[in-house]
């Protein structure tokens, strides 16, 4: 069945995109777009959305506000956090969904009572200690307040993460099991290895490529490899991408976004169509279920910025309501989903490769 979609679902290795012929092959898949979509629809005539199980992972990078004015990454306010986080949590309450709050250790130290209360209904994940840059190379030029950030030495990186873990555990009584790097800045397997050694179950810092069949598809959840960021290996850490978007982008994988409000700014209908396309592709690949990770930040829901963010809460409620109406939806935290995937879908363990 997959050959009927050729060349749309042919394997194109991520590494090949760095070459000119690879880039041409990549771009050729999107021309024309409508033909690609029509092929996908044609090859899934019996697809029934109501029978499709979709795991929705709601997460929030629960952090201090981005620096503005004379602020720096070391000195930031909580103004929009305090205004926006309750609005995001209200959405979770509407759907009785537990979210994963990737939290800065420094913020947890400052507001321990808040996070102790949040931990009753939500998972408190780790977002480093004070939004440190965890990459091995310097931040891109477009990074906000780039001069405040610099790569850390391995020992400093370990100390930062241990400090964040301790802050969260002291406030909530639970050691964080899920992780997401500030700026999604992980670019070296050594950081993944460190997360594995520190006892994290999952990481959501890497983007959405599928190494198994085609780099054009949203990635499958997988164990990370200590020597290669993109393939399965023998580490226990499970990689859950920070953003899964099914609608093909012309310059994918170079054009990546991660916020749910950015996704919904195009409208609810195309956002729902994204999930439909994702499920159809997963169905063709023989997967029994699909996963959608909806990442956000508290400031995206703050109404202090005026009309730009005022409709974010209503849009998200409308979007999730439509997904529930169309698909067989379940809301899971990162750790809940990782455990479920490990039990039901882990190829490595199913083949007995872990002893």
pLDDT in tens, 213-246: 344 333 556 776 655 555 555 678 888 887 655 5
Position 127 scores a pLDDT of: 98
User: What residues have CB less than 8 Å from 67, skipping those under 6 apart?
Assistant: 73, 75, 76, 144, 145, 148
- Protein fold of 53-350: TIM Barrel (3.20.20)
pLDDT digits (tens, 9 = 90+) for 307-330: 556 678 999 999 999 999 999 999
Altogether, the residues listed in the chain come to a count of 355
The pLDDT confidence band at residue 90, using thresholds 50, 70 and 90, is very high
Cβ 165 vs Cβ 193: under 8 Å: no
Q: Can you give the pTM of this predicted structure?
A: 0.85
Q: Is the pLDDT of residue 206 over 60?
A: yes
Sketch the domain layout of the chain as residue ranges: 1-43, 53-350
Position 244 scores a pLDDT of: 59
pLDDT digits (tens, 9 = 90+) for 299-308: 999 988 665 5
User: What residues have CB less than 8 Å from 330, skipping those under 6 apart?
Assistant: 53, 54, 55, 56
Cβ 218 vs Cβ 244: under 8 Å: yes
């Amino acid at each position: 069945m997959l050959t009927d979609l050729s060349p749309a679902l042919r394997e194109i290795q991520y590494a090949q995109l760095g070459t000119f012929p690879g880039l041409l092959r990549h771009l050729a898949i999107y021309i024309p777009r409508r033909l690609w979509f029509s092929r996908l629809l044609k090859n899934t005539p019996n697809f029934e959305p109501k029978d499709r199980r979709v795991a929705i992972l709601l997460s929030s990078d629960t952090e201090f506000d981005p620096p503005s004015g004379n602020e720096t990454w070391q000195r930031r306010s909580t103004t929009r956090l305090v205004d926006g986080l309750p609005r995001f949590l209200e959405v979770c309450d509407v759907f009785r969904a537990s979210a994963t709050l990737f939290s800065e250790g420094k913020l947890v130290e400052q507001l321990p009572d808040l996070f102790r209360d949040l931990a009753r209904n939500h998972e408190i994940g780790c977002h480093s200690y004070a939004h440190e840059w965890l990459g091995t190379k310097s931040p891109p030029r477009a990074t906000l307040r780039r001069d405040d950030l610099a790569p850390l030495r391995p020992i400093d990186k370990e100390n930062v993460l241990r400090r964040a873990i301790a802050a969260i555990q002291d406030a909530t009584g639970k050691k964080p099991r899920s992780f997401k790097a500030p700026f999604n800045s992980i670019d070296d397997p050594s950081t993944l290895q460190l997360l594995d050694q520190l006892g994290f179950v999952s990481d959501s810092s890497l983007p959405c490529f599928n190494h198994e069949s085609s780099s054009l598809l949203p990635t499958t959840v997988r164990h990370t490899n200590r020597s290669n960021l993109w393939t399965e290996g023998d580490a226990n850490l499970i990689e859950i991408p920070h953003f899964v978007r099914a609608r093909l982008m012309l310059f994918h994988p170079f054009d990546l976004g991660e916020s749910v409000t950015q996704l919904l700014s195009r409208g609810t209908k195309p956002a729902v169509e994204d999930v439909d396309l994702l499920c159809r592709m997963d169905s063709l690949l023989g997967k029994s279920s699909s996963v959608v990770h909806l990442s956000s930040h508290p400031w995206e829901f703050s109404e202090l910025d005026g009309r730009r963010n005022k409709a974010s809460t209503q849009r998200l409620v409308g979007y999730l309501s439509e997904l529930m109406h169309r698909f067989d939806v379940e809301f899971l935290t990162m750790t809940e989903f990782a455990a479920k995937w490990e039990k039901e879908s882990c190829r490595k363990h199913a083949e007995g490769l872990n002893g």
